[in-house]
């Protein structure tokens, strides 16, 4: 009796459940595409950029949509702190992605974004 009870407890309570990764369609539905942003950088450079944020679930994607103005402001704030040479240097794209992710994740309540994708970028 104890062995059967232990086996049942292990199977339904203790044993970790395997989670399947989300499908490509689910991941795409959880993406949040920002409108194209054109703004000044430090110095005399200008950037035109379009980003897509990857949410890990629908709740985070919904929160990103609801906080559109806050997300845009966070991205613009990150860009204003960078210069054209910083962005054009090796690792500049990774720097933008990292800083945007950190800034946006700082105010999200329902979860954290999983990735930042640069759809297009022009620096002058």
pLDDT of residue 16: 55
Q: Write the CA distances from 65 to 25, 55, 69, 91, 116, integer angstroms.
A: 18, 11, 9, 29, 15
In the chain, domain spans: 22-123
8 CB-near residues (< 8 Å, 6+ apart)? none
pLDDT tens figures, 78-93: 999 999 999 999 999 9
What global pTM score does this model have? 0.81
Superfamily of domain 22-123: Band 7 domain (3.30.479.30)
Q: Write the CA distances from 56 to 9, 34, 45, 75, 110, integer angstroms.
A: 31, 17, 34, 19, 10
């Amino acid at each position: 009796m104890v062995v059967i009870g232990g086996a049942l407890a292990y199977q339904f309570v203790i044993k970790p459940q395997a989670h399947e990764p989300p499908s490509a369609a689910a991941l795409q539905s959880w993406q949040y595409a920002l409108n194209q942003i054109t703004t000044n950088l430090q110095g005399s450079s200008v950037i035109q950029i379009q980003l897509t944020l990857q949410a890990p679930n629908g709740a985070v994607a919904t929160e990103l949509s609801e906080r559109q103005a806050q997300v845009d402001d966070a991205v613009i704030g990150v860009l204003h702190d960078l210069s054209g040479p910083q962005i054009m240097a090796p690792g500049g794209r990774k720097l933008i992605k990292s800083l945007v992710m950190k800034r946006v994740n700082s105010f999200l309540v329902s979860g954290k974004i999983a990735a930042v994708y640069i759809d297009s970028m022009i620096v002058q």
